Amino acid sequence: MSDTPARGCDRCQALPSPQEASGRLFLWSPVGHSQGRLLNCLREARHEVQVRAEARCVVVCVPQATLSPLVANVVAALSQEEARATRALFMVGEDEPGLPDYPRVGSLQRFVTRARAGWLVDLLAEQRLTTHFQPIVHAQDTGRIFAYEALMRGRERDGALVPPGRMMQTAREADLLFQLDLAARTTAIREAVKHGLNTHLFINFTPTAIYDASFCLRSTVEAIHAAGIPPERVVFEIIETDQTADAEHLRGIVDFYRRSGFQVALDDLGAGFSSLNLIHRLRPDIIKLDMELVRDVHLDPYKGSIVEKLLEIARTLGIRTVAEGIETHEELRWVRAHGVDFVQGYLISRPQSPPVASTPSFTD
């Protein structure tokens, strides 16, 4: 173990500067004619600008709540390639950029995307993430809850729910996936404690939102220990494996979780081309069958053959299985007959908060 004092990952925890604040926008153009176009656009709009010729930098004074329209106008004046090549940094107040600020310098195009994602930055800054819980039950006795899966939700200021897909898509486009993923994990832990859950807890994580497991996941592990949740009851569920090109990086994350005493589940088995290879590389404790495979499995002999073989592989390797997306009695009956361990889906319960305390017991 390292003697380095424990601290979290700055990349995962730091949020962008508030978009509504006043300050200065620093723009570095790749070539002179691009800078000329920038200046013409800014001066026509009567913005206060300063040119630092030695650094090929244009500094724009930004009054409060004007950053987003200012940047949108600038991008409209440039070609797409110029917008990608121009670097941008927003500094609140009158501060000059220093060494700690340089990692925040990014393309002007990305800056625009992030400016449009101000609602998500505000949501994270104001801690308006919440968690809904969906039970995972024993297949042969659906009245016995094995675990709850923690599912991220957001809230508008008026209390309306923000769907997870909207938050994930915006986070990917605005380079906020690291912050959103960490906030979702820590919120799930906090909400599980709040509701007094004493079953297994499935917590999703996105591999592409983790640079280095020993730093990016440290705060998550510390939150679990501080909450008094036994590590063996926590199952970290890998999502979006189709977007993870670096299998060694993913294996490093899984190894970190295992060394910390947690279990690992592989989500959506059968949804991607590399699913079987990931079983070999990651050796998960639990695999979850993709709901598209489970849907109407009793009616489709092709699906049935695939699911049957996946269940057979899992049994041979000692891996427990969850059938996701169970919506009908016929689907439940089929997966039961073919030996799945656990089931999850709307037939049992929808995700909700507070979580359901009991589930219906279905018999054949």
> What pLDDT, on the 0 to 100 scale, is given for residue 273?
47
Contact assessment for residue 264 and residue 236, using Cβ atoms and an 8 Å cutoff = yes
Q: pLDDT tens across 27-42, in order?
A: 998 877 888 888 999 9
> What pLDDT, on the 0 to 100 scale, is given for residue 124?
94
Residues with Cβ < 8 Å from 140, sequence gap 6 or more? 336
> What pLDDT, on the 0 to 100 scale, is given for residue 1?
33
Q: pLDDT tens across 232-253, in order?
A: 999 999 886 545 557 788 888 8
pTM: 0.83
> Residue 17 above 80 pLDDT?
no
Mean pLDDT of the chain: 88
Q: pLDDT tens across 246-302, in order?
A: 778 888 888 999 999 999 998 877 655 456 778 888 899 999 998 999 999 999 999
Residues with Cβ < 8 Å from 318, sequence gap 6 or more? none
Task: Tell me the CA end-to-end span of the chain in Å, nearest whole number.
Answer: 52
Mean pLDDT (whole number) for 134-143: 98
Nearest residue to 119 via CA among 181, 83, 58, 166: 166
Contact assessment for residue 311 and residue 102, using Cβ atoms and an 8 Å cutoff = no
> What pLDDT, on the 0 to 100 scale, is given for residue 109?
84
| Domains of the chain (ranges, CATH numbers) | 10-116 (3.30.70.100), 127-343 (3.20.20.450)
Q: pLDDT tens across 171-201, in order?
A: 988 888 889 999 999 999 999 999 999 999 9
- Say whether 362 sits in a helix, a strand or coil: coil
CA–CA gap between residue 227 and residue 235 (Å, rounded): 15
> What pLDDT, on the 0 to 100 scale, is given for residue 198?
94
**Which range (41-45, 86-90, 210-214, 310-314) has the least confidence?**
210-214
